[in-house]
């Protein structure tokens, strides 16, 4: 038995008992001028900062957005992080590392190796910024004064992508084409650990359990201990060819983006997925308000806010309709599908929800 409930967009609730997983309450912001936002991070000013082709954006926890044009026409940015100097640092496709103050003033630093294709960037335990160079197969380091050091990787064409500070005082990174997880000390010593062949590890983050967690292009989530032991968990819906960024949520679980879904994995490997309409959730971070903030890279481009609501005992699983004409923002609640996606045969017409298959 299903009933229609209306917020800013019509929803349908179908009674399915689900035990234990939290609810995710979502709000979407689609400000004018937004085009394919990618990475997102909490800034030193209590706002969220994100990368967008040719701009760096800021959104407050109340949804007010400001876009700052970058300084050149080929500066598409893949990653952003708050630096130890109170500014935001980001990578640029124009072979630069960028720095932006909270007032919007941008400075660029040219990477010594040409055409290096910088990807992800993070803060190291030494107070410098560390980043991956996918094309030149190096790990880069830049001080807040702009001094560079680059470290070649042992594996040829490893293709480093994600990078994060580990709990052991080293930096950990992924090698997409090399199918490895790497570790580099602040003095530049590199160790590599093999992941499953052809799984293409991409993003990586430090988990709340003292290990590192990473996403893989073959619809898997990986975990590696600081001793190098790798465990991989397949996602319930394995038809995706790419999994986005990963972060730790306020509930102590790992949250990550997918095509049309938001994923969650507990530290003991229990996976759940949340339907997110026509979307590619790429960047994700925990905000200063305790919510998850993430970017929708593909149509319609938007910034999302997700509030994690714990559920105790049985609950109702709500299945939202796909994106319709909903203006600048809309809100709905979704609950875990537990790998069983009843997402077909939904349509929105003139504000009414139609579901001939479910009735």
pLDDT in tens, 199-209: 899 999 999 99
pLDDT value of residue 270: 86
Q: Looking at residue 290, what is its pLDDT?
A: 94
Tell which residue, 193, 177, 168, has the closest CA to residue 135.
177
DSSP result, 190-234:
EEEEE-STT--EEEEEE-TTSSEEEEETTTEEEEE-TT--EEEEE
Structure confidence at residue 346 (pLDDT): 27
- Of the candidates 196, 210, 111, which has an alpha carbon nearest to the alpha carbon of residue 168? 210
Q: What is the mean pLDDT of residues 12-32?
A: 57
Tokens linked to 344 = 């077909």
Of the pLDDT bands very low, low, confident and very high (cuts 50, 70, 90), residue 314 is very low
pLDDT value, residue 248: 97
CB 196 within 8 A of CB 155: no
* pLDDT confidence bin for 9, thresholds 50/70/90: very low
Residue 7 has pLDDT above 80, yes or no: no
When pLDDT is cut at 50, 70 and 90, the band that residue 74 belongs to is: low
Q: Residue 351 above 70 pLDDT?
A: no
Over residues 171-175, the mean pLDDT reads 98
The pTM score is 0.83
Question: Rounded distance, CA 230 to CA 221, Å?
Answer: 11
Higher pLDDT, 146 or 93: 146
CB 165 within 8 A of CB 125: yes
pLDDT at 115: 95
Task: Say yes or no to pLDDT of 241 above 70.
Answer: no
């Amino acid at each position: 038995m299903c009933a229609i409930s209306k917020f800013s967009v019509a929803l349908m609730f179908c009674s399915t008992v689900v035990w234990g997983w939290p609810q995710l309450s979502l709000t979407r912001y689609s400000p004018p001028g937004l085009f394919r936002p990618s990475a997102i991070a909490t800034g030193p000013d209590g706002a969220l900062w994100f990368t967008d082709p040719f701009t760096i954006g800021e959104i407050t926890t109340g949804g007010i957005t400001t876009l700052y044009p970058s300084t050149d026409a080929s500066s598409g940015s893949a990653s952003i992080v708050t630096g130890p100097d109170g500014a935001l640092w980001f990578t640029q496709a124009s072979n630069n590392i960028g720095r932006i103050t909270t007032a919007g003033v941008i400075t660029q630093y040219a990477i010594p190796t040409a055409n290096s294709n910088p990807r992800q960037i993070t803060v190291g335990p030494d107070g410098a910024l560390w980043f991956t160079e996918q094309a030149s197969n190096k790990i880069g380091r830049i001080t807040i004064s702009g001094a560079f050091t680059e470290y070649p990787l042992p594996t040829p064409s490893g293709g480093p992508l994600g990078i994060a500070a580990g709990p052991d005082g080293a930096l950990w990174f992924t090698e997409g084409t090399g199918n490895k997880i790497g570790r580099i000390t602040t003095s530049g010593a590199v160790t590599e650990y093999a992941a499953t062949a052809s799984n293409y590890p991409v993003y990586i983050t430090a988990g709340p359990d003292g290990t590192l967690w990473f996403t893989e292009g073959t619809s898997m989530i990986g975990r590696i201990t600081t001793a190098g032991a790798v465990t991989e968990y397949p996602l319930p819906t394995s038809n995706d060819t790419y999994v986005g960024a990963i972060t730790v949520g306020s509930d102590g679980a790992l949250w990550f983006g997918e095509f049309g879904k938001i994923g969650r994995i507990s530290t003991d490997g229990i996976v759940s997925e949340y339907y997110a309409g026509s979307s590619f959730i790429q960047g994700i971070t925990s905000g200063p308000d305790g919510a998850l903030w993430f970017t929708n890279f593909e149509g319609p481009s938007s910034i999302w806010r997700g509030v994690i609501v714990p559920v105790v005992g049985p609950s109702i699983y709500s299945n939202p309709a796909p994106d319709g004409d909903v203006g600048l923002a809309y809100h709905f609640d979704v609950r875990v599908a537990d790998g069983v996606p009843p997402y077909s045969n939904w349509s929105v017409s003139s504000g009414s929800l139609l579901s001939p298959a479910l009735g």
